[in-house]
Amino acid sequence: MCLVKMSMICRAVAWALLVVHFFVQEPLREQILAVQTVVCSLCLELKPLHVVTFFVIVIYFLQSSYEWYFWSQCVHHVVVGACILGEYYFKEWHFWSWILLCWSMRWLNSISMYHQHPIRSAARCIVFGFVAQKRFARTFKDGFKWSWILLVHEVALLLLPVQMLYEVYKFRTSALPAPV
């Protein structure tokens, strides 16, 4: 079988397993996620699928409980916003901001991916997949710019068109010839 076809099949199976794992209970959830990571690792080149898998695994291992407090939700969304701004404007600080995000997810217990209805979590993964599979995430690193989709409340997805327009504008202005 051609390697490209195998990679496409692996990506399709990995996306399906990722969505399905939200709808099953433990310990089957962990086993499906483990199989999904193995199938994902069979993909030859890094794709947005690897970014979403990375975040789901981090959330899975870091999330011990979930406590909804207004202040923790606000702080979490500010940290996520800082990470995305760091990807665009403060590139020298972007590693620091992602580490801060991982610790804030652990300390604030503000990610409810496994403590809410599975349709909400699966829908965020699907939205991320559609956005990232298009021309917005050309590289593995570009996928991190869109990872906020997985980490915020669905109401914040109203900002998604703003980021898409910015990406199109940035791409178009970088393609223009420099003035003489």
Determine the pLDDT at residue 100.
79
Determine the pLDDT at residue 139.
65
Which residues does 54 contact at the CB level (< 8 Å), separation at least 6?
A: none
DSSP 86: H
Determine the pLDDT at residue 13.
93
DSSP 47: -
- Answer whether 162's CB lies under 8 Å from 147's CB: no
Which residues does 142 contact at the CB level (< 8 Å), separation at least 6?
A: 48, 132, 136
Q: Residues 134-154, buried b or exposed e (16+ Cβ, 10 A)?
A: eebbeeeebbbbbbbbbbbee
Tally of residues, the chain? 180
Determine the pLDDT at residue 140.
66
CA angle 4, 135, 80 (to 5 degrees): 110
- Answer whether 52's CB lies under 8 Å from 129's CB: yes
Determine the pLDDT at residue 92.
77
pLDDT mean by block of 10 residues, the chain; 180 residues: 78 91 89 92 80 84 69 80 79 75 73 78 84 68 72 72 75 61
Q: How far apart are CA 116 and CA 122, in angstroms?
A: 11
- Answer whether 129's CB lies under 8 Å from 150's CB: no
